[in-house]
Chains A and B, each alone.
Chain A
Amino acid sequence: MLTLAEVAYLADAPPKWVLNTSAALGLADAYTLPLARRLYVMRLLQRATGCSLERAEALASRLLQGGDESNNSAVVSVALDDQGTLCMQLDVARMHSTFDARRSALHTTVAPRVRGRPRTRDHEPLEAARAWGLDLSLLASNLRRTPTERLRQLDAMADFRRRVTRPSATR
């Protein structure tokens, strides 16, 4: 299950848009990955064509039917007005690829912002670090090294982590 903020990030839309769209179209009220993908496609179609939410929803349903992500392209027609119809080619593989790139970023990097106003009062950084429990001697010892030495130390640590094995670990 996802949060509203996560669905909004995945759909590349403001949370308000997710709320309004879900309410207007009576989409499932649980925030799930399929819902996020559907909203992402709807948003994409709406941006590209300016079609109505209902039309975007119908097209998204058609495109995502069966969950066949191997279908590389699809032709969808979008009604523009009474006079004519625009025929649009949609790169479905790229659409899924971009959505999955957002999923990857969400899992690994994106996190909610800290709430509340940013700190405005000046504080003494070393006091704050001590209060937080940071080992300042470790930082001081790092500062005595050159940047190159610091980077080499990190590299050595990364190498160590890659090589070390834990026979008793289950995963």
Chain B
Amino acid sequence: MFEEMLRALVARGIRFVVVGGVAATIHGSARYTNDLDICYATDPENLQRLVELLTEWKAYLRGVEPGLPFILDARTFSITPLLTLVTTHGDFDLLDRVPGVGGYDEALARSEEAQIGSVRFHTISLDALIDAKRAARRKKDMEHLIELEALRALRDA
């Protein structure tokens, strides 16, 4: 599921950085996640590619009654900083900025390269992920933070 989603994003030339639970997994988290979170570049070409992919994946708003008017175009991205979608390929969250880190450029600057199969992509670094969790300060982030900080201590030991 995630490999397929990442492959499609890369194949389309979409500029993104993996953040959230999948990034935590890549850094060694034992928590399960069922959605892919990305921070995307907001230039018009990138947004258009995302729109095309999401249209193909029949993206719709997650947790909202079916059948409501949902307009998926580049403008939607510019006025909706956080899109939480369900798609034919799995749940997919798109952010234009990561709390505590910044937009795509800042996230990219604090990312590492990762690879699954032949797919190479950028994932946010463990330090940046910890900063993001600290900045978000939701209860679940605080719980996750304990695990991420333990992972960093184990990694650096």
Residues of A within 8 A of B (CB): 69-70, 72, 93-94, 96-98, 100-105, 107-114, 118, 124-126, 128-129, 132, 134-136, 138-140, 142-143, 145, 147-148, 150-155, 157-159, 161-162
- For B62, the chain A residues whose CB sits under 8 A away are 104, 107-108
In the complex, A72→B146 CA distance in Å? 48
Does B30 contact A111, Cβ atoms closer than 8 Å? no
Does B136 contact A104, Cβ atoms closer than 8 Å? no
Beyond A109-B93, A126-B153, A142-B30, is A100–B64 a contact (Cβ under 8 Å)? Answer: yes
Chain B proximity of A15: nearest CB distance (Å): 16
Interface CB pairs A-B, < 8 A, 5: A100-B64, A113-B138, A129-B149, A132-B143, A142-B29
With both beta carbons as reference points, the residue of chain B lying nearest to A151 in the complex is identified as B116
Residues of B within 8 A of A (CB): 1-3, 22, 25-30, 32-34, 61-64, 68-71, 75-76, 79-80, 82-85, 90, 93, 114-117, 123, 134, 136-143, 146-147, 149-155
Does B115 contact A148, Cβ atoms closer than 8 Å? yes
Does B26 contact A150, Cβ atoms closer than 8 Å? yes
In the complex, A126→B146 CA distance in Å? 9
Does B147 contact A134, Cβ atoms closer than 8 Å? yes
Does A129 contact B90, Cβ atoms closer than 8 Å? no
With both beta carbons as reference points, the residue of chain A lying nearest to B26 in the complex is identified as A147
Does B68 contact A69, Cβ atoms closer than 8 Å? yes
- For A135, the chain B residues whose CB sits under 8 A away are 30
Does A155 contact B70, Cβ atoms closer than 8 Å? no
- For B153, the chain A residues whose CB sits under 8 A away are 124-126
Does B3 contact A139, Cβ atoms closer than 8 Å? no
- For A140, the chain B residues whose CB sits under 8 A away are 154
